[in-house]
Amino acid sequence: MWCAGAARRRRTTSSKGIAGVSSSFGVAALSSPFPASLALAERFEYEGVSYQHPAFDTLVYNKAGERLRKAAPLPVDFYVVDNWRSSHAYPLVIFRQTLSRRAHKVDQGVLIAQRIKRLSSIALKLNRFRNLRLTTIQDIGGCRAILSSRRKAKALYDNYLSGYLEHDLLWYKDYVDTPKDTGYRSYHLIYAYRGIGSKLVYNDLRIEIQIRSRLQHAWATAVETVDIFTSQALKSSMGRPEWDHFFRLMASYIALRERTPLVPGTPTKKSELFDCIRECEEKLLVVKHLQGFRHVTERFDNEAAFAHETKPSYFVLEVRPSESLVVVDPFKGEDLEQAQKAYLNAEQQILEHQARNDAVLVSVEKLASLRKAFPNYYGDTEVFLGILRDALHRR
């Protein structure tokens, strides 16, 4: 039996289709010369770290983004887009520092992380939203706070809405009391950076802040894990409907635990919700799949150079699902420029070989937080599995 009113059909995209968006850069892009304008671009020094300036005007960026949208980029577009996203690194670290200070006042055990958006995700977003332009994507740079409870997450969100910040708040959304159709829950804020003097060059760059509870994070990263290891796009509402339905049910179960509104379209009676979760789990063998994903080996590149680093640092994570391997390339905080080049190189290799692999440039406050902040790259869904097992035993 399929649960009453079960899944709403969404447009699905095969793994081949998604790969087609990102691999459209082609080998020509990989062998193209680095644009002279980037080589000569000024950089901004802050606390011993060198940050890129934007090297082109808005028209150049958006034309590169438009060709990327049409899957017909010129070789130079690869570097133009990369310069745009790398230019968000300085505003991003400023927002992360503020987020860390505010969050630790609410929850000493908070987990803080940041990431720069992947090229494949940029391409996918431009294709999903036809009126969007590269320079108006609001989450090129994003930082996140993961707190121990929904109550503490809400307190931090309210602190941002009521407190002063010298940057412009463009948009905010409570996805906890009004979850997305997918079941996604979090508090989101979008700011435009504001600076003076030598920092004026970064003005209007947009940074996204996400504030989540531990349970909301477990749900979101479980979705991303399934996307990575099964070549779906559930996060973008373009996955298999049966998996989409399962995660919507689990989002409602978590909402019950956190005493927030259920996802619209899911059962409102607890007993019916639990029955539907059990039915979906039996049909999809969710526990078996998630347990299978976690056998991922971690390999560090350049580990010796990182051994004594204690400050917040950068990591290029590359997950290779077919090898059950995640390669971690660590960089000291002052080596951001090298980290950005390694990130670009990792993506180039993925595009050249049209692999299922995925890479991302992230930063956390300490090495021990890396797996907790980005468990999806490790196939690690242990927290979510605990929530699911609890749901399966409910009546």
DSSP 51-104: EEPP-S-HHHHHHHHHHHHTT---TTHHHHHHHHHHTTHHHHHHHHHHHHHHHH
**Residue 103: C-alpha distances to residues 214, 262, 357 (Å):** 14, 26, 33
Domains and CATH numbers, the chain: 16-392 (3.30.460.10)
- Residue 260 has, within 13 A of its CA and on its CB side, a CA count of 25
Q: Retrieve residue 290's tokens.
A: 């998630």
Residue 30 confidence (pLDDT): 40
Whether the per-residue pLDDT at 2 is higher than 50: the answer is no
Residue 20 confidence (pLDDT): 36
- What is the rounded distance in angstroms from the CA atom of residue 223 to the CA atom of residue 186? 14
Whether the per-residue pLDDT at 9 is higher than 60: the answer is no
- Nearest partner of 375 among 226, 214, 225, judged by Cα: 225
pTM here is 0.86
Lowest average pLDDT, out of 105-114, 281-290, 300-309, goes to 300-309
- What is the rounded distance in angstroms from the CA atom of residue 169 to the CA atom of residue 182? 26
Strands 313-320 and 325-331: antiparallel
- Nearest partner of 143 among 361, 382, 342, 347, judged by Cα: 361
Would you mind telling me the total number of residues written for the chain in this entry?
395
pLDDT band at 37 (very low <50, low <70, confident <90, very high): low
Strands 206-213 and 297-300: unpaired
